[in-house]
Amino acid sequence: MFDLKKKIRRFVQIMPGQFLGEYRFLPIFLLGGALIEFTMINWHVGEVNFYKTYKKRRIEEVVERRLQEMETET
């Protein structure tokens, strides 16, 4: 446990804290988010990925909304 605290303390001291201050870990989280987004778009499970599923759901919502608008007009 003590060794883990030393490693965490060393890692925090290595990060550039003078320039970024309390936002010193922001670049790591930005890169992590970009990596997750990239994998969600480009990683296919079978023939489906997150982007295709999201796009299909949005199209279904738009069609459903337009059908409801057409029903209320008549």
**Residue bearing the bigger pLDDT, 59 or 10:** 59
**Residue bearing the bigger pLDDT, 65 or 25:** 65
**Residue bearing the bigger pLDDT, 20 or 56:** 56
Those residues with Cβ within 8 angstroms of residue 41's Cβ, 6 or more apart along the chain or in another chain: 49, 50, 51
Condensed to tens digits (0 to 9), the pLDDT of residues 9-50 reads 888 788 777 777 888 888 889 999 999 999 988 888 888 888
Rg over CA atoms, the chain: 23
CB atoms < 10 A from the CB of 48, how many? 10
Give the residue extent of every domain in the chain: 1-43, 47-73
Condensed to tens digits (0 to 9), the pLDDT of residues 4-16 reads 888 888 887 887 7
Rounded Cα–Cα distance for residues 30 and 68 (Å): 40
Rounded Cα–Cα distance for residues 23 and 21 (Å): 5
Lookup: tokens for 47: 């023939």
